[in-house]
Amino acid sequence: MKIPHLGLFGRFLVLFSVTTVLFSVCVLLGSFATTEQEAKQFVNERESQLFEMIQQIAQRPIDEVKLNSDAKSNRVRIMVEREGQRFVTSGHFPTMEALAKNAEPIGHLYFSKLNSQYYLYANVSDTNVVVTSRMVNLIVYPQWLILWPWIAAFLVLMTSYYILKRLLDPINSAIESANRISQGDLNYRIASHPKSELSRLTLSLNKMAADLQRLFESKDEILMAISHELRTPLGRMNVSLAMLEQNEITKDLSSDIQYMNNLIGQLLEGERLQQGARVLTTSTYYLPTLIEDVLSENGLQEKVTVTTPLPEEAIKLDVGRIKFVLRNLLQNAIEHGKTRKNVELAINISDETLSFSVTDHGQGIPEHMLENMFTPFFHAENINHRSTDGVGLALFLCKRIAQAHDGELTVTNLNPKGCEFKMSLPVQCIVA
């Protein structure tokens, strides 16, 4: 007979049923578990009643029907030995000689243990009567073994947890895959697949990642090709404009061409940064020197106040791209926060991050637009556009650069006015 293959829900049902039964049995045994000493105490307290019952059996003629009925109603097994004859209600009983070796007298009775089985017997008028019970043998244990039902219950739970975890591992793999794909890691694949319905889920996620990877690669190739092709006519236009007499029209055309060049350059940079840390050109640089380099550009030093001591640390990162981020954040803050107060720059090191905070004292950003500030080509109302070149990609690129360094770029409004852009990088970028 071929055993049918159990699906996921069938396995859950079997696991739940078996666990429930085994755990219930263990708890039940643990609740009624009794030590040998407690069992002897129980017999000692009821010695007279128990001896009277055994005495009645010993003194009357052996009636098999009556004896079997008494044994069944009291859930015990009985052996009667008289004048060389032996009668047992069920099961196997040891010899009286074997029982006597380990017997302990309790009044007129004897308490004996043999092969982990417990017996109570007495000799009345040359008749031996032995009584035992399967239930008693299940719940009476030596002192050192009294906790075994609870240990068994714990092992049942741990085994069930392990099996359940194995059954649910594909779901955890699927969650991990979904998270990695949502973060842009389209190279991630689930390595192993279960022999259940969940294999459809894991295989589908792998197929989805592969399809998305092909689509994005095609899109990237098209965008890169178009961008490169656009630069050729733009270059010829620049040469032609340089040969014409300079006037307002040629200046406007030159400005538009420069805008297009900037747009193409930043589009290409955005595509490159999609690859994350692989495109970064890291080098070790002295942090105070990096800040001084940025502030010395375009007269930023006169409009920016550094509010914290510069940490005298060496850092390893893509210096050019980090300068691009700081330069854009500072210039945008200056343009936006047109007040008498300088823009503030703070550099802090914590246990986990190296952070750069740029604060202005302008009107702030409408709350409903904060989440879109790093969207390409986004223009927020009532604020100056935060891009030095007017392309609309600067903040988008800044965030991509921070993420490529395993960091983050965030923006928050301050009370009562102003806003803060904060770039947080992993503290591991500091060279020990």
Give the start-to-end residue ranges of the domains of the chain: 34-146, 218-275, 278-429
At residue 115, the pLDDT reads 87
The dihedral built from the CA positions of residue 333, 334, 336 and 337, taken in this order, carries a sign that is positive
Among the residues of 140-279, which ranges form H helices? 148-182, 198-243, 248-273
At residue 391, the pLDDT reads 52
How far apart CA 400 and CA 66 sit, in angstroms, is: 91
Q: What are phi and psi of 326, to 5 degrees?
A: -65, -40
- Closest C-alpha to 399, from 384, 411, 385: 411
Identify the H or E element spanning 412. strand 408-413
CA atoms within 13 A on the CB side of 370: 15
Answer whether 328's CB lies under 8 Å from 396's CB: no
Q: Which residues contact 269 (CB under 8 A, 6 or more apart)?
A: 397
Other CB atoms closer than 10 Å to residue 337's CB: what's the count? 24
Q: Which residues contact 32 (CB under 8 A, 6 or more apart)?
A: 139
Instruction: Supply the pTM of this predicted model.
Output: 0.50
Helices 394-404, 248-273: axis angle to 10 degrees equals: 20
How far apart CA 425 and CA 430 sit, in angstroms, is: 10
How far apart CA 235 and CA 232 sit, in angstroms, is: 5
**Are domains 34-146 and 278-429 of this chain identical in fold?**
no
**What one-character-per-residue DSSP string does 366-397 give?**
-GGGGGGTTSTT---TTS----TTSSS-HHHH
Chunked mean pLDDT (size 10), the chain, 432 residues? 63 87 88 86 90 87 84 88 86 87 90 90 89 87 83 92 86 86 81 78 87 80 74 78 80 78 73 72 91 86 89 90 90 77 89 92 82 73 44 80 90 86 92 78
At residue 66, the pLDDT reads 85
How far apart CA 250 and CA 260 sit, in angstroms, is: 15
In the chain, the amino acid numbered 195 is: K
Q: What is the CATH number of domain 278-429?
A: 3.30.565.10
Phi-psi region of 244 (alpha: psi -120 to 50; beta: other; left: phi over 0): beta
How far apart CA 307 and CA 197 sit, in angstroms, is: 59
Phi-psi region of 357 (alpha: psi -120 to 50; beta: other; left: phi over 0): beta
CATH class of 34-146: alpha beta
At residue 3, the pLDDT reads 47
Answer whether 292's CB lies under 8 Å from 304's CB: no
Kindly state the tokens that stand for 186: 């389209």
How far apart CA 97 and CA 79 sit, in angstroms, is: 14
Name residue 120's beta-bridge partners.
111, 131
